[in-house]
Amino acid sequence: MTNEERARKFLLLLDSRWPLNDKEKLVQELKDEFDQVTLEPNWEDREDEWTSRIAEAHPTRSGSHEDYACAMRMVGARHSKRALVDLVNWLLIRNR
C-alpha cells in the first residue's frame, strides 16, 4: 500500500458519515499496514568514486595515525551534516 493510499484510508476514517463497524475495520487495516512499515533509517554508507581512496588513507593502511586523530577531532567538533560539509569544502579549497 502506498503512502497516498494510507492517507486516503485515514481520511475516510475521519469522515463522520462512515458507520462505526466500517471504521473499526479500517482502523485494523491501517494498524496492520503500519506494523509492516519500518521507520528505521538506513545508516549504511554508499560507495562512490572516493570510497577506495578513503579506505586507502585509513591509518592501518597509510600509517598516518596523527592525521587520523586530527580528523577525528575535526569531525567530532561538528554535530550537523551542514558543518561536516563546510569542513570538507574548506579542506577541498585549502588543498587546491
Side chain identity, residue 38: T
The C-alpha atoms of residue 19 and residue 23 are separated, in whole angstroms, by 6
Low-confidence ranges of the chain (pLDDT < 50): none
Q: What is the pTM of this model?
A: 0.53
The C-alpha atoms of residue 63 and residue 68 are separated, in whole angstroms, by 9
pLDDT for residue 83: 95
pLDDT for residue 82: 94
CB 28 within 8 A of CB 9: no
Cell 585509513 maps to which residue? 58
Helices of type H across 1-96: 3-14, 20-36, 51-56, 59-62, 65-76, 81-94
Domain boundaries defined on the chain: 3-36, 65-96
pLDDT for residue 65: 94
pLDDT for residue 92: 92
pLDDT for residue 52: 95
